[in-house]
Structure formats: structure tokens, C-alpha cells
Amino acid sequence: MVQDGDYVAVFNSIHRVMKAEKILKQKKLAIMLIPVPRALQSDCGLAIRYDSALRNEVERVLAEEGFLPAELYVKQHGEYVKVTT
């Protein structure tokens, strides 16, 4: 489901992740709502996955709408690496 190079955005609540998904899909960005990978901790249970080619646009749109994720990870060599913004 999540491939090396993909980003996983984790949010604080189901409300925030669902709103972020709606915002991104309205902009026609190729994102996917996924269960939070087991290797990551989250109270929400859902996350947004997107390709590295979309990173700047996804994060710009979320920032403009005030919906930046609580945590952001990139999958590298089969492991999730936390991204500091």
C-alpha cells in the first residue's frame, strides 16, 4: 500500500484527516486515505498517503487551509522516517 518514497500524513483526529482529504480531493490531487501503518502511532487510525512528486503541492494546500498534519513520514528502505518541517 505504501511504497518507498511515499509520504504519510498523520492527523490528530478523524475530523481533521477527513477534512484534509476533502480539501485535497477538491484540488484533484492524487492522494489516498489509508489506515495508519502499524509502525506508526496515531489516535486517529487514518492517514493520507501521497507520492513524493506531490509533496510541495499537498503541503502548500494544507498549509493554506490550516490543516497541516500532526506528523509527516516518508517511507525509505521499508521504514518510516519522520520528516521535520
Average pLDDT, the chain: 94
Between CA 71 and CA 51 the distance in angstroms is 16
- The 10s digit of each residue's pLDDT in 45-67 is 999 999 999 999 999 999 999 99
Between CA 56 and CA 46 the distance in angstroms is 21
- The 10s digit of each residue's pLDDT in 7-21 is 999 999 999 999 999
With beta carbons less than 8 A apart as the criterion, state whether 38 and 51 touch: no
Given this model, what pLDDT does residue 84 score? Answer: 83
Write down the domain spans for the chain.
7-82
Task: Report the CATH architecture of 7-82.
Answer: 2-Layer Sandwich (3.30)
pLDDT band at 82 (very low <50, low <70, confident <90, very high): very high
With beta carbons less than 8 A apart as the criterion, state whether 48 and 42 touch: no
Residues 6+ apart with CB under 8 A from 6: 49, 50, 51, 52, 74, 75
Query: pTM score, two decimals?
Result: 0.93
